[in-house]
Every structure is written in C-alpha cells, then in structure tokens.
C-alpha cells in the first residue's frame, strides 16, 4: 500500500495503492486479491488500474475507479465477459 503524492488533484494522489479481496473473474466461486493504483498517463491524465493476483496479465485501466470496478463486477456476474 502507498499513500502516493499529492498533486493537482488531492482527492486522487498519484502513486496511491490499496488492495481488497473480491470474487475472481476467472475462477468462479473463488476469491482473489485485487490491487488498485493511481498513476499519471502519458497525456498527464489520471489513470486508475486494478490488477487481480490471479490474472496479472490483464489489468483494467480506466479514467476513473468506478469504471474499472464496474468491469470487475460485470465479469464476476458473467465470468466469460472479459475473455
């Protein structure tokens, strides 16, 4: 975990990371750890990334955290939707 650095948007510090346990997108009925982080994209815009421990090669990156987690929630409801 990291608190990140306060930049132009103190609500979303670049470098902040956290983790939580939630249902796996690829192993129905199993839980996995997801690591969320905030970084600055090539254009300087904030990007929000969520990576599952059991699927590290397929991070979800969006322009806000709600969009990233919505993809995870949808995938958990329909595990084949992210394939």
The predicted structure's pLDDT at residue 8: 58
> Is residue 7 within 8 Å of 13, Cβ to Cβ?
yes
Residue 41 and residue 20: Cα distance in Å, rounded? 24
pLDDT tens series, the chain, 83 aa: 555 555 556 567 888 999 999 999 999 889 999 999 999 988 988 999 999 999 999 999 999 999 999 999 998 987 454 44
Half-sphere exposure of 16 (CA within 13 A, CB side): 15
Q: How far apart are CA 47 and CA 26, in angstroms?
A: 24
Q: What is the pTM of this model?
A: 0.80
């Amino acid at each position: 975990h990291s608190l990140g650095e306060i930049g132009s948007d103190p609500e979303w510090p670049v470098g902040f990371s956290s983790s939580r346990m939630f249902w796996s997108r690829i192993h129905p009925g199993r839980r996995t750890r997801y690591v969320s982080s905030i970084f600055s994209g090539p254009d300087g815009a904030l990007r929000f990334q969520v990576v599952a421990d059991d699927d590290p090669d397929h991070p979800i990156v969006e322009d806000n955290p709600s969009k990233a987690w919505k993809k995870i929630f949808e995938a958990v409801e329909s595990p084949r939707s992210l394939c």
